[in-house]
Amino acid sequence: MRLIDRYLLRQLVAPTLWAIVAATGLALLSTSLTQLDLIVAGGQNALVFLKATALAMPQLINMVLPVSVFVAALITLNRLQTDQELVVCFAGGMSRWRVIAPALRLAAVLALASLVINLWIQPASHRAMREVLFEVRTNLVSALIREGEFTQPAPGLTVYAQSVDRNGQIRNLFIHRAKDDGGATTYTADTGRLVMKDGEPILRLFRGSTQELSSDGVLNYLTFDDYPFELKQFIRSEERIHYKPSDRYLHELLFADLTQDWEKRNHLKLLAEGHARLATPLYNLTFMGLAVWAILGGTFSRMGYGRRIAIAGGVAAVSRILGFISVSAAESEVWLNILQYAIPIGTLAWALRAVFRQKPSRFVGRSLRGRKSPVAGAAA
């Protein structure tokens, strides 16, 4: 029997892994488009884009795991049932539980992996990604300069550059700065380069001129070969990285620091996210149970199990949607968090009850009626 258990498990593992890879790839394409817009707008290179994409993968894998389990289990179990390999298992004396145990064990392992991702890997990757995106948004060069565009990185400041080469050299720079007293200063330069001096960013302008118009209408004109344009005053130093609920670890969600104003106002939202981290891995077991019910929840049929598969798919979709709704509802009423656990566990219990409702002997008898099974043929 152990040999058959391992065989059934092997049949399930490969399709599940392929389904996870395929579903993650599709989800990654959709997510990377949003990140690509931000990276391109920020003037970042491909390495930053790949880093942000890689950091988004743990959450995407967690999202597609239940669906991958469901699809892979349906394909594998349907093939095993159509080829009458499961019928042979029942005819050989294996109980219904023994036949479906490998599938449930695989789902349990994936649920445990999903829990590990939820509790440790996802928060760590989200925090790292938040820092990468924060650097992109606050990057000084991207905020100041975009090739061929007039930008306004700060109030009263307008910047234009014709081009920026790979070495960071900026060509044909135009900078206009309006003053609070009504005056203005305009800088033009053939080339420029961003450098750091004493830890502060400076835009060095080469071979250019300045035109300063005072508030009383006096114009001052000056040419220069090398002029340091200080950027410290335009850096938004007050900006800080704010970690959203999806970026926080479980203890930060369930035991929020209520002395902080934001945590106090969003206490229920943090609790809902914390319980969602614990409850969502259960959907791996739930979707596996629904796949098992779709194939083994009735008599053997050579015409396929399209009707039961459609029902199982509908139940899976409804249960997951209700799970999302329960998370939103729990953000206003704390006791509704129990629904996050009740929905997947209740759906799994219903599916397994339907699977075990029919006795194996009756199942085997109907399955083999009018057709000699491989086991029966071997016995003859």
Q: What is the pLDDT of residues 14-67, one digit of tens each?
A: 999 999 999 998 888 877 776 666 665 555 667 777 888 889 899 999 999 999
One-letter amino acid for residue 154 of the chain: A
**Measured distance between the N- and C-terminal CA atoms of the chain, rounded to whole angstroms:** 22
Torsion of CA 338, 73, 367, 100, to 10 degrees: -60
What the block records as the tokens of 312 is 């199982």
Least confident of 123-132, 153-162, 358-367, 369-378: 369-378
Task: Give the span between the Cα atoms of 285 and 110, in whole angstroms.
Answer: 8
Look at the block and give the residue holding tokens 């593992």: 13
Query: What kind and span of H or E run contains 159?
Result: strand 157-164
Question: pLDDT higher for 23 or 153?
Answer: 23
Return all residues near 153 (Cβ < 8 A) that are at least 6 apart.
Answer: 143, 144, 159, 234
Beta carbons within 8 Å of 4's beta carbon, 6+ residues apart: 89, 92, 94
Q: How confident is the model at residue 149 (pLDDT cuts 50, 70, 90)?
A: confident
pTM of the model: 0.77
Polymer length in residues for the chain? 380
- What is the CB-side half-sphere exposure of residue 28 using CA atoms within 13 A? 18
| Residue 264 φ then ψ, to 5° | -65, -40
**How confident is the model over 372-377, as a mean pLDDT?**
42
Averaged pLDDT, 226-245: 75
pLDDT value, residue 44: 63
CB 141 within 8 A of CB 203: no
Task: 332-341: list long-range contacts, CB under 8 Å, 24+ apart.
Answer: 332/268, 333/268, 334/268, 334/271, 337/271, 337/272, 337/275, 340/272, 340/275, 340/276, 340/279, 341/275, 341/278, 341/279, 341/282
Q: What does the pLDDT read at residue 216?
A: 80
Taking the C-alpha atoms of residue 318 and residue 68, their distance in angstroms, rounded to an integer, is 17
pLDDT at site 276: 97
pLDDT at 337: 97
Per-residue pLDDT at 36: 67
Does 311 have pLDDT greater than 50?
yes
Residue 93 has pLDDT above 60, yes or no: yes
Say which residue the tokens 């596996």 belong to.
288
Residue 220, phi then psi, degrees to nearest 5: -115, 130
Higher pLDDT, 183 or 41: 183
- The DSSP line for 322-351 is HHHHHHHHHTT-GGGGHHHHHHHHHHHHHH
Q: What does the buried/exposed string (b/e) look like for 101-134 if buried means 16 or more CB atoms within 10 Å of the residue's CB?
A: ebbbebbeebbebbbebbbebbbebbbebbebbe
Neighbours of 29 (CB within 10 A): 10
If one compares 10 and 46, the residue with the highest pLDDT of the two is 10
Percent of the chain's residues with pLDDT above 90: 54
CA distances from 324 to 81, 138, 267, 315, 316 (A): 33, 33, 18, 14, 13
Q: Is the pLDDT of residue 379 over 60?
A: no
